[in-house]
Chain A
Amino acid sequence: MEKNRDSFASKALKIVTGNPIVFLLLIAAVIVGCSVDNFFSWANFSNLVSNTAVRFLIALGVSGCLITKGTDLSAGRQVGFAACIAGVLCQRGDYTGRLWKWVPEMNIGLVFIIVIIFGLVWGLVNGLIVTKLHVPPFIATLGTQTIIYGISLVITDAQPIGGFQKIYTQLINGRLGSVKSFHLPYLLFVAVLFGLLFYFIYNSTRHGKYMYAIGGNETAAEVSGVNTTATLIRIYATAGVMYAIAGYLLAAKSGGASASMGQGYELEAIAGCTIGGVSTTGGIGTVPGILVGVLVFELLKIILQFLGVNPYYNYVVQGLVIVLAVSLDIRKYIAKK
C-alpha cells in the first residue's frame, strides 16, 4: 500500500516534469485569470473551446503523418480550399454577390459531403505521391499545398466570399444553453466526437497499430507483413478529410471564406502535436496528448490577448514556445543514449 502512495507521488511529479510547458502555461493562465477581469468567463471559455475544436481536427489529421515520421504541409491550404468550396456552394440563392450563379442554392448537408470528397481526393493525391512516387512527405506536401492554394485562388477569383445561408452559419455557431451564462458550443461536441473516434482508431484498430509500427520502424513493419503503402495512403487520405471538415466549419464560424484562410494552420497543428508529445522521431503520440498540445497553444494565444500584448509579438512568443517544447521533448530521448 505504501508503495502505491509513493508511486502516485512520483507519478504526479513525472507528469509535471514530463510536460513542463503545459504546467507553466496553466500557472500563467491562473495568474492572468486572477489579475485580469473576464478571463474566467463563459464567453471566453466558449471562444477558447471553439478555436481549439477546429485546430484539434486539423491536428488530428496531421498527427498520423507525424507519427509515421512524415508531415503534411498542405494542411493549412487544404483547410482554405475546403472553406472556399463550402463558401461558394453555401451562398444564399438571392445573394447578389453570388460567385457561381449557375449553381442552385444547395443543401448544406450535400455541400458537407462534396467538401469531404474533395478533401479525400487531396489526401489521396498526397498519399500516392509519398508512397508511389517516393517523394519525401515534406517536399510532396510542399508542392501540393502550392497547387491547392492556386486552385483556391482560381475558384474564388481571389475575392472574399460571403452571403452564406443563415442555416449554415447558425448551425455551426450554435450552442447548448444561454449565451450569457453556461453554454457549450456545438463545435465542442464535434471535437469530442472526432477525439473519441481517433482514440478508438489509434488504440484499437489494425490501422492504428500499423501506423505506430511504421513510425517505430518502417522496415520492420514491412518485413512483419504490414502493407505500409496502403496504411500511409489511408493516413494521408484521412488527414485530407479532417482538413476538409475543419475548413467547412471554419468558413461557417467566420461567416466568410477566402483563399488565404487556413494559412499557417499546418504549422500550428504540427506545433500543437509536438507540444502534446507526438515525437518527431516517429512511433509516439496519443490523442489526449494532441488535445492538450492544441489547447495549450490556443490558451497561450488568449493569455497574450488578455495581457494586451501587441498582436505582432504573439508570433514571436508562439515561435519560442514551439522551439522550447520540441527541444525539451528531444531531451528525453537524447539523455538515454
Chain B
Amino acid sequence: MSEYVLEMTGVSKSFPGVKALDNVQLKLRPGKVHALMGENGAGKSTLMKCMFGIYKMDEGQILMDGQPVTISDPMDALTKGIAMVHQELQPIPARTVGENIFLGRYPMKKALGFIPVVDHKKMYADTAELLKKVRMNFDPKQKVGELSVSQMQSVEIAKAVSANCRVLILDEPTSSLTANEVEALFRIIDDLRSENVAIVYISHKMDEILRISDEVTIMRDGKYIGTWDSKQLTTDMIITQMVGREMTNLYPPRSNQPGEVVFEVKDFTSINPRSFRNVSFQLRKGEILGVGGLVGAQRTELMEGLFGIRSHTTGQILYKGKEMNISRPKDAIDQGVAMLTEDRRGSGIMGVLSVADNISISSLNQYLDRGIAINKKKVEALVQDNVRKMNIKTPSSKTAIKSLSGGNQQKVLIGRWLANSPDVFILDEPTRGIDVGAKYEIYCIIADLAKEGKSIIMISSEMSELIGMSDRIMVMCDGRVTGFVNGKDATQENIMAYATQFE
C-alpha cells in the first residue's frame, strides 16, 4: 500500500502560446490538508483541472493507491473519489439544495412497481443527513439561489462528501467568506481530516495556510518548486518561494515623471454592499498607480465601476477638477478614459473578427470618408502602425484575432485603446496568461505610455510586477482601500499587510 492516496508526477500541459504546467508533481496523504500555493497564473488551477479530468494532461501520470489511473472527465473523477469545490460556485439556483447535491445521481425508486422515478423522500432525508455532517441546518428543500455564498459553498462541500470522496479539492474556498464563515469551514475541514480524506487547499491567505495545512506545495510559472512540512514554514519563506525570481531585468527602466494630479476619485461606493466602498484616490499625470490586493478585494469591480461597466451609488470622479459623469463605457471613453479588462476572452477580444476590426472598433469615427464610409486604408494604416510599434505578430490584418497568442491579442487590445489617445488608461491584469517574453514587451509599452504623460492605473495580482512597475501602489482589502505604498518602499510584506487588513 502506498503512503499516498493520490500522486501526480511529471505533469505537463500546454495551451497555445503558454506552457501552463511543466513537469509538476503533487503527492497527497490521506487525512492531511495539503496547501497548494503560487501566484496567480502559477498553474495551480490548471493542475487541479488536470486531476479532476477537466483538462487532459500532455504528459505525466496520476497514481491512486500506487496504481496508475486515467481520469477522463469530471464524472470519472467523482466515481474514483475525487471531488472539487470550484472557486466560482456553479450551482443551479432555481433548484433545491437536495436536487443540487444529488444532481446526476438522483436516488431512484419504482412507482407502481415498474416506472423509475426520483425518490424525493430518500433524497431529502439523505440531504438533511449530509447537511448535518457539514454543520449546516437549513431546509434541504430551500432553493439554492436563496442561500448566502458560504451556505452555497457548504452545499458544494456536502455534495463532495456525499460522493464519499477520498480527495477533496478546495479552490480559494474563503475568498468570499466572512471571518465567522471561515471558522465554520475550518471545522468542516477538521471533520473531513479525521475521516481520512486528503484535502487540497488552494489559497493566497498565508495565515489560513499556516493554520489549517499539514503540507505545502509551492508552484511558480507552471513549475514545481517544492513541498514542505507546514510547521517548518513562515509567511516570508512562502512568499520568497512563490515569487522567487531575480527582480533585476524583469522590468524596463522607467523615466516617467509623475506631474500634477489629473484624475481624482472621491468616496466611490458600489450599489452592491459586498463590493467596493468609500474609495478615494488621486492619480497624477504620467504616473503608474499599481492596485494590489487579494482575490476578492474588489479591485476589478472598482475599476469597472469607474469605467461605467458597474453601477455606483455615491462618489465623484474628477478629471482636471471637472466632474465626469460616467454611466456606461461609452461615457468614459468619450471623456478620455480607457480600460483593458481582465477577462480578455469574455470582454476583450471579438474572437471571430479580424485583427483590423478588433483594433479599430473603438475609434471608427476617425476613419470616415464624408461621415459615412469607413476608409479601409486608414484602418490598415492604424493596424500597420500598431504592428510596427508594438511588434504584434500576426499573419495579416485580416487574421481572426482568436488565432493569435495571448500576448499578441493583448497588444491588439492595447492598440484599440491607444487609437483613442486616452488620458487615463486602466489596465486590469495586463499580463495575465501571457508568456514571459511578451510580458516584458507589455511592460515596456506601459512604461512608454507613462513617459508620454498618460496616467495609468494597473491592477496586478503578481507582487513582483506591482512592485517592479508602479510609482505608487494602492492596496485594497474586502472592498476598501487599506493603504498606499510608494513604489520605492514597496515590499511583499508591507503590501501583504495592507491586503490582509480584514475588518
User: At the interface with chain A, which of B176-184, B208-216, B222-230, B354-362?
Assistant: B354-362
Q: A209-B374, A216-B353, A284-B352 are in contact. Are A223 and B364 (CB under 8 A)?
A: no
**Which of B353, B361, B373, B416 contacts A205 (CB under 8 A)?**
B373
Which listed residue, A204, A213, A283, A284, touches B374 by the CB 8 Å rule?
A204
A221-B341 Cα distance, complex, nearest whole Å: 12
Contact mask A206-220 → B, CB, 8 Å, 1/0?
100110110111011
Among A219, A226, A281, contact of B361 (Cβ-Cβ < 8 Å): A226
Q: Give Cα A213–Cα B334 distance, bound, in whole angstroms.
A: 19
Asked, given contacts A204-B373, A217-B347, whether A224 binds B352 with beta carbons under 8 Å apart, the answer is no
With both chains docked as a complex, state the minimum distance between the C-beta of B415 and any C-beta of chain A, in angstroms.
12
By a beta-carbon cutoff of 8 Å, the part of chain A in contact with chain B is 200, 204-206, 209-210, 212-213, 215-217, 219-227, 279, 281-284
Smallest CB-CB separation from B376: which chain A residue? A204
Chain B residues with CB under 8 A of A227: 330
Shortest distance from the beta carbon of B226 to any chain A beta carbon, whole Å = 35
Asked whether B365 is an interface residue with its Cβ less than 8 Å from the other chain, the reply is yes
Task: Let me know if B347 and A213 touch, CB within 8 A.
Answer: no
Contacts A209-B361, A226-B361 given; does A219 touch B373 at CB 8 Å: no
Q: A200-B373, A209-B357 are in contact. Are A220 and B352 (CB under 8 A)?
A: no
Q: Which residues of B contact A217 (CB under 8 A)?
A: 346-351
The reply to whether A283 and B329 contact each other, CB–CB distance below 8 Å, is no
Which residues of B are in contact with A by a Cβ distance under 8 Å? 307, 309, 328-330, 333-334, 339, 341, 346-353, 357, 360-362, 364-365, 368, 372-374, 376, 416
Do residues B347 and A219 form an inter-chain contact, with CB atoms below 8 A? Answer: yes
Tell whether, in the assembled complex, residue B329 and residue A213 are in contact, meaning their CB atoms are under 8 Å apart: no
Q: What would 9 A/B residue contacts be, using CB atoms closer than 8 Å? A: A204-B373, A205-B372, A206-B374, A209-B364, A215-B352, A216-B350, A217-B348, A217-B350, A279-B352
Which chain A positions have C-beta within 8 A of B307?
A: 223
Give the 3 A-B CB pairs with smallest separation, nearest first: A216-B350, A225-B333, A217-B350
Determine if A220 and B348 form an interchain contact, defined as CB atoms under 8 angstroms apart: yes
Q: Are B346 and A219 in contact (CB under 8 A)?
A: yes
B398–chain A nearest beta-carbon distance, Å: 13
Partner of A224, one of B329, B334, B346: B329
Q: Taking A206-B365, A222-B329 as contacts, is the C-beta distance between A283 and B350 under 8 angstroms?
A: yes
- Give the residue name and chain of the B residue nearest to A214 (CB): B350
Q: How far is the CA of A226 from the CA of B416 in the complex (A)?
A: 13
Let me know if B353 and A213 touch, CB within 8 A. Answer: yes
**In the complex, number of A-B residue pairs with CB atoms less than 8 Å apart:** 78
Most buried by B among A200, A209, A282: A209
Determine whether the beta carbon of B330 is less than 8 Å from that of A216.
no
For A200, the chain B residues whose CB sits under 8 A away are: 373
Given contacts A217-B350, A283-B353, A284-B352, contact A225 B374 (CB under 8 A): no
A287–chain B nearest beta-carbon distance, Å: 16
Whether B309 pairs with A223 at a CB distance below 8 angstroms is: yes
CB A208 to nearest CB in B, in angstroms, measures 8
Q: A213-B357, A283-B352 are in contact. Are A224 and B362 (CB under 8 A)?
A: yes
**Partner of B329 from A204, A223, A282, A284 at Cβ < 8 Å:** A223
Given A204-B374, A219-B346, the answer on whether A225 and B357 have CB atoms closer than 8 Å is no
Q: Are A220 and B347 in contact (CB under 8 A)?
A: yes
Please name the residue on chain B nearest to A227 by beta carbon. Answer: B330
Question: A223: which B residues are within 8 A, CB to CB?
Answer: 307, 309, 329, 339, 341, 347-348
Residue of A nearest to B307 (CB): A223
Q: Are A216 and B352 in contact (CB under 8 A)?
A: yes
Question: Closest chain A residue to B373 by CB distance?
Answer: A204
Closest residue of B by beta carbon distance from A333: B352
Q: Which residues of A contact B352 (CB under 8 A)?
A: 215-216, 279, 281-284
Among B347, B350, B374, residue most surrounded by chain A Cβ atoms (within 10 Å): B350
Asked whether A216 and B351 contact (CB < 8 A) given A206-B365, A224-B329, A224-B416, the answer is yes
How far does the Cβ of B306 sit from chain A's closest Cβ, in whole Å?
A: 13
Q: Give Cα distance in the complex from A210 to B347, angstroms.
A: 15
Q: A213-B350, A227-B330 are in contact. Are A221 and B361 (CB under 8 A)?
A: yes
Shortest beta-carbon distance from B188 to chain A in Å: 36
Cα-based distance from A205 to B357 in the complex (angstroms): 12
- Would you give the shortest CB distance from A162 to chain B, in whole angstroms? 42
Distance to closest chain A CB from B55 (angstroms): 13
Output the nearest chain B residue to A283 by Cβ-Cβ distance: B352
On whether the beta carbons of A212 and B309 are closer than 8 Å, the reply is: no
B341 surroundings in chain A (CB, below 8 A): 223
CA distance A54 to B193 in the complex (A): 71
Q: Which residues of A are found within 8 Å of B357, using beta-carbon distances? A: 209, 212-213, 216
- Nearest chain A CB to B164 CB, angstrom units: 33
CA distance A3 to B160 in the complex (A): 58
Q: Which residues of A contact B349 (CB under 8 A)?
A: 217, 220
Contacts of A283 in B (CB 8 A): 350-353
B342 to chain A, nearest CB (A): 11
A215 to B353, CA, bound (A): 9
Q: Nearest-CB distance from B371 to chain A (Å)? A: 10
Q: Known pairs A204-B373, A224-B333, A225-B362; list 7 more (Cβ under 8 Å).
A: A204-B372, A205-B372, A209-B361, A212-B357, A215-B352, A281-B352, A282-B352
Nearest residue in A to B333 (C-beta to C-beta)? A225
A221 to B364, CA, bound (A): 13
**Residue numbers in B under 8 Å from A204 (CB-CB):** 372-374, 376
Bound state CA distance, A212 and B360, in angstroms? Answer: 12
User: In the complex, what residues of B have CB within 8 A of residue A222's CB?
Assistant: 309, 328-329
A48 to chain B, nearest CB (A): 32
Contacts of A213 in B (CB 8 A): 350, 353, 357, 361
CB distance from A114 to the nearest CB of B (A): 28
Closest residue of B by beta carbon distance from A282: B352
The closest CB in chain B to the CB of A209 belongs to B364
Separation of A281 and B352 alpha carbons in the complex (Å): 10
